[in-house]
Amino acid sequence: MKTDIVLAGVGGQGILSIATILGTAALEENMHIKQAEVHGMSQRGGDVQSNLRISENPIASDLIPLGGADLIVSLEPMEALRYLPYLKPTGWIVTNTTPFINIETYPTPEALEAEMAQHDRVIAFDMDKVAKDLGSPRSSNMVLLGAASPFIHLGAEKIEDGIRKVFGAKGEKIVETNIKAFRAGRVYSQDLQNK
């Protein structure tokens, strides 16, 4: 089994934390991983993107080819659309619907929604709201991770173990807050799939 994931967002949203958690979980499962990151613009609120490849077999390259991604996972809708050329025809888009408007020519919500509607396999909802409703607005990245987790060949409990390892030094309250957000995103995603 193999999962090729394009993680996308804007600097400061926690995309690289998701990559670290998934990488930690994959290594615990004795899986092979390769990762490549673009985060030089993150200081300015710019594009942050990571290629994460997880497989039972050795992986030759850390870059996902055009048309090769199983998943586009994004904390920002325009960033999800930016990487559509990388998505397989059978791939999934999992994205937050809350925009991070950092350019004057940012598309309208209607234009974003219309573009998303052209794709059959989309999980899109307001992850910021879910995080706020849980009392932890900064955990929207964990809501996103939870929403994407049904499409990743790693058990939910292993990903939760990854969350514990990555955030463990910050204390048990932070760990539990992030696991709660992860679980909420997973449930929301599964409910959307069952509709």
pLDDT value at position 13? Answer: 75
User: Which residues lie across from 49 on neighbouring strands?
Assistant: 8, 38
In order, the DSSP letters of 24-82 are: HHHHHTT-EEEEEEE-TTGGGT-EEEEEEEEESS--S-SSPPTT-EEEEEESSHHHHHH
pLDDT 10s digit of each residue in the chain, 195 long?
Answer: 899 999 998 877 778 899 999 999 999 999 999 998 765 555 556 777 899 999 999 999 989 999 999 999 999 999 999 999 999 999 999 999 999 887 888 889 899 989 999 999 999 999 999 999 999 999 999 999 999 999 999 999 999 999 999 999 999 999 999 999 999 999 999 998 887
131-134: long-range contacts, CB 8 A cutoff, minimum separation 24: 131/181, 134/177, 134/180, 134/181, 134/184
CA distance 127 to 147: 9
Closest CA to 14 of 131, 173, 113, 105: 131
pLDDT value at position 44? Answer: 55
pLDDT value at position 157? Answer: 96
pLDDT value at position 151? Answer: 96
* Chain Cα centroid distance, residue 139: 12
- Which letter does DSSP use for residue 168 in this model? G
pLDDT value at position 195? Answer: 75
Q: Beta strands 32-38 and 47-55: pairing type?
A: antiparallel
Structure token pair of residue 48? 């942050």
In Å, how far are 11, 59, 98 from 126, measured between CA atoms?
19, 34, 6
pLDDT value at position 45? Answer: 62
CA distance 190 to 96: 15
What angle separates helix 140-148 from helix 172-193, to the nearest 10 degrees? 50
Angle made by CA atoms 80, 13, 125, in degrees to the nearest 5 = 50
User: Which residues lie across from 38 on neighbouring strands?
Assistant: 49
